[in-house]
Amino acid sequence: MKRLIIRITAALLAIFAMAAAPLSAFAATDYKPAYAAVLERLASSNPSFGTVGGEWLVIAVVRGGKRAPSSDWCKRYFDSIESMVRANGSGVINPNKSTDNSRLVLALTAIGRNARSVAGYDLVQPLCDISYTKRQGVTGAAFALLALGCNSAYGESAARNELVDFLLAREKDGGGWSLSAQPDVDATAMVMTALAPYSKASAAIRRGISWLSQAQEADGTFATLGSVTCESSAQVVTALSAAGVNADTDPRFVKNGVSALAALVGFYRDGGFAHTPGGAINGMATEQSAYALCAYDRYKKGANSLYDMNDVSLGGTGTPKPTATPKPTHTPKPTNTPKPTNTPKPTATAKPTATAKPTNTPKPTNTPKPTQGRTDAPSAAPTTAPSAAPVQTAEGAPTVGPTDAAQTPASTDGSFTEPAHTATEQAEITPTESAQTETEQADFAPTETAPDETAQAEKPGGSDGNGQAGGVKKALPYAGGAALVLAAVLAVVLIKRKKRDEN
């Protein structure tokens, strides 16, 4: 019985000992002091375009929250990039390196600038050309995919799908990616980071995770081409964070109690990171480690991943767009064509409207038959001279036809002659008898539909709706003359009658 108790106790101790090693390995790595120090170091610099001291630095500092997108620090960086792009004179920064465009798009988006409009150039569009991005192999395609997908404002779903298919087709047997025959850590981690958001790549990402786990060194570090480097560990931590794998506690990435995250922090040296174990601070190693710790920190906090910048507003910061398109606004030729508006010639064709002479057409008004009911008696007797016997003329006046009186004006000697049109009247009448042009007919036709308004406006006597206004106006002078003659005849008769009565 005593031996049985001893054996059970030994077994329990063995089980506890086996469990003790994994438990120590799962202890969280305190990465925050190194992370805060490196962000402070990088934020004190003045970034400009470049693989070191440029875009990766900006991404780490801004996505790490050390500098706000609206800060002067970010504005100075943008101004330097705008000047560089303007001097470059093209949206393609380097015809042989699409990663230059990709880095810029990622950094500009991180600071809230729209990469579609920088100094008048679109830095996003060139990345849609897969023949351009694949010149740098799978890594060129991977960073182009990251840039195109970093903010939904850029769209380009077709180009992104093409890049995803390209990368999936380049996967190595057994998982992983490479620029050569055999998969390597850096290329595999970069491609996994780019493919992480796409569900169609989930199986390939699982194989990649498995391959990276096997590639991890016994001390938790990673090597590329046989050399252990800080940058390789940084790329793995970034990829695992994008894929939702904890680089500090996932047992697949803990070797001999050292996690992938702990191995990365092991390269830290007084505010920076060394390129190799025990080496001096290196710029590229420092910047890549900074954004890798940023990726892990965002993963831990449940924030958007490092390259998912849909939490950044591009509204208003992409103002280079209006200024970037001065070509449409600089074409004032359409607006400078006031010739259509300056063509008052159509409006100056008031000649048709100025030809109120058609409305003054004496021919319709020269049919004085309607005036027959108006001039019964006054037009009497002017067919004889005043020197004739006035009594008989007055009595015979009613027998004279009113149309004759309307058509025969009185002369200065008391006789009546056929009225002759003056030169002006002929000129006014002639157009009505000549054929009108199409324009004149079009302008004149409406005036025929409402002659009353024109006639009433020009002739105070008005119109009775039967076209008599013009005839009455012409008949008035003749009727007045006839009335004078008749008055003279009556006066003579009365004088003679009075003399006869006196006698």
Which residues are CB-contacts of 187 (< 8 A; sequence separation ≥ 6)? 137, 138, 139, 176, 177, 178, 179
pLDDT at residue number 2: 52
- Give the integer Cα–Cα distance in Å for 483 and 379: 7
Please give the mean pLDDT across all residues of the chain.
74
Helices (H), 275-319: 283-301
Averaged pLDDT for residues 100-124: 98
pLDDT band with cut points at 50, 70 and 90 for residue 366: very low
Higher pLDDT, 29 or 442: 29
**Token reading at 423:** 């030169």
Residue ranges of domains in the chain, CATH in brackets: 27-325 (1.50.10.20), 350-432+450-502 (no CATH)
Could you tell me the pTM of the whole model? 0.61
User: Tens of pLDDT along 392-447?
Assistant: 333 333 333 333 333 333 333 333 333 333 333 333 333 333 333 333 333 333 33
Which amino acid would we find at residue 448? E
User: Please, is 454 exposed, middle or buried when counting C-beta atoms within 10 Å of its C-beta (0-12, 13-18, 19+)?
Assistant: middle
Averaged pLDDT for residues 306-324: 68
pLDDT band with cut points at 50, 70 and 90 for residue 7: low
Averaged pLDDT for residues 215-238: 97
Higher pLDDT, 400 or 343: 343
Specify the DSSP element, H or E, that contains 435.
Answer: none
User: Tens of pLDDT along 39-70?
Assistant: 999 999 999 999 999 999 999 999 999 999 99
pLDDT band with cut points at 50, 70 and 90 for residue 263: very high
- Give the integer Cα–Cα distance in Å for 407 and 115: 90
- Give the integer Cα–Cα distance in Å for 361 and 317: 72
Which amino acid would we find at residue 425? E
pLDDT tops 80 at residue 126:
yes
Of 29, 36, 25, 112, nearest in space to 289 by CA: 36
pLDDT tops 90 at residue 326:
no
pLDDT tops 60 at residue 350:
no
pLDDT at residue number 458: 37
pLDDT tops 60 at residue 464:
no
3-state SS string over 250-272?
CHHHEECCEEHHHHHHCCEECCE
User: Tens of pLDDT along 145-176?
Assistant: 999 999 999 999 999 999 999 999 999 999 99
- Give the integer Cα–Cα distance in Å for 401 and 342: 58
Higher pLDDT, 373 or 239: 239
- Give the integer Cα–Cα distance in Å for 266 and 268: 6
227 φ/ψ angles, rounded to the nearest 5 degrees: -115, 125
**Token reading at 360:** 């003054």
DSSP string across 74-140: HHHHHHHHHHHHHHHTSS-S-TT-HHHHHHHHHHHHHTT--TT-BTTB-SSGGGG-HHHHGGGHHHH
Residue 384's Cα: distance from chain center in Å?
Answer: 89
365 φ/ψ angles, rounded to the nearest 5 degrees: -80, -15
pLDDT at residue number 358: 42
pLDDT at residue number 490: 75
Max mean pLDDT range (260-269, 329-338, 370-379): 260-269
pLDDT tops 60 at residue 470:
no
pLDDT at residue number 26: 54
Taking phi over 0 as left and psi of -120 to 50 as alpha, with beta for the rest, 280 belongs to beta
pLDDT at residue number 486: 74
Of 191, 197, 190, nearest in space to 231 by CA: 190
- Give the integer Cα–Cα distance in Å for 397 and 381: 5
pLDDT tops 60 at residue 102:
yes
User: Tens of pLDDT along 177-212?
Assistant: 999 889 999 999 999 999 999 999 999 999 999 999
pLDDT band with cut points at 50, 70 and 90 for residue 329: very low
pLDDT tops 50 at residue 472:
no
By three-state DSSP, how is residue 27 classified? coil
pLDDT band with cut points at 50, 70 and 90 for residue 493: low
- Give the integer Cα–Cα distance in Å for 248 and 502: 153
pLDDT tops 50 at residue 322:
no
- Give the integer Cα–Cα distance in Å for 447 and 452: 9
Averaged pLDDT for residues 68-84: 97
pLDDT band with cut points at 50, 70 and 90 for residue 31: very high
